Amino acid sequence: MFFEMIKSIILGIVEGITEWLPISSTGHMILVNEFIQNKGGFTASDLYLYVIQLGAILAVVTLYFHKLNPFAPSKSTEEKRNTWEMWFKVIVACIPAAVIGFVLDDFMEHFENWYVVSAMLIIYGIAFIIVEKKHKKTVVKDMNSMTYKTALLIGMFQVLSIIPGTSRSGATILGAMLIGCSRSVAAEFSFFLAIPVMFGVSLLKIAKNGLAMTGNEWAILITGMVIAYVVSMLAIKFLMNYVRKHDFKVFGYYRIVLGILVIAYFSLKMTF
């Protein structure tokens, strides 16, 4: 159990950082699991890797609780209405991923390999650099000015994240910027989109397999979730502060470098 607990702490840190930055949690998990030799055991299971995301999503709920809460007494009638509309936009944006993701879920498992992950890291890294160089006109400067059509289009970009290595936040942020959203709106809407998606998937996994977990496995899972929660709080605050003064090009360069490292690592492994 000791080594599984250490792995859970490491994976919680990786989840907390990479879930929100547009750098692909899948690509990082592949490398980290290789380095810590995490090929078996509870922390390598789908149940653990999906449910640990609950810790990350709870960080969004904590940080944006007032903004997300349509019942806040301090909000005016108009503000409450705007909050409800924001949630409706989130639901509309989740529809494409819910439908297409459900249909293609089993099929996409065939693409969960380092070839696809490294390619997506590099392709989207280049895309971020290109989009940032052309990102001049900002039409949507806050959530209230976002239309349902814009929300749906962002949701369609989120579908791309079913390809391993793409990054859910990366696909939605990139798509939002392409259709005229400011960097801060793109990032925040990406956070909010994750709430129903990640809650739904995590709770489904718990409902299917949670009752079969042992006490030790629950302890390992909760530890990873707590670590992911704390690190996510820091990562989200960092990203929002960063994009107020900078663009996303640095993440594009980072993705390209990481993609090359993934290719180099696994090519050398196959050679030797």
Could you say which residues of the chain have pLDDT below 70?
A: 105-106, 108-109, 135-136, 210-211
* Per-residue pLDDT at 88: 96
Amino acid at 16: G
* Per-residue pLDDT at 210: 67
CA distances from 198 to 36, 93, 156, 188, 193 (A): 26, 14, 17, 15, 9
* pTM exceeds 0.85, yes or no: yes
| Distance (Å, whole) CA 150 – CA 14 | 31
Asked whether the beta carbons of 230 and 106 are under 8 A apart, the reply is no
User: Counting Cβ atoms within 10 Å, is residue 209 exposed (0-12), middle (13-18) or buried (19+)?
Assistant: middle
Of 25, 23, 4, nearest to 13 (Cα)? 25
What stretches of 46-147 show up as alpha helix (H) in DSSP?
46-51, 53-63, 65-68, 77-108, 114-134
CA distances from 141 to 33, 57, 93, 248 (A): 39, 24, 18, 17
Dihedral, 191, 193, 198, 203 alpha carbons, nearest 10: 120
Give the pLDDT confidence of 151-184 residue by residue, as tens digits: 999 999 998 888 888 988 999 999 999 998 999 9
* Per-residue pLDDT at 148: 95
* Per-residue pLDDT at 105: 66
DSSP string across 117-131: HHHHHHHHHHHHHHH
Beta strands in the chain (DSSP E): none
| Distance (Å, whole) CA 72 – CA 76 | 9
Dihedral, 222, 228, 231, 235 alpha carbons, nearest 10: -160
Contacts within 8 Å (CB) and 24+ apart, 200-206: 201/50, 201/53, 202/50, 202/51, 202/53, 202/54, 202/57, 205/46, 205/47, 205/50, 205/51, 206/47, 206/51
Amino acid at 183: R
Kindly calculate the radius of gyration of the chain based on its CA atoms and give it in whole angstroms. Answer: 19
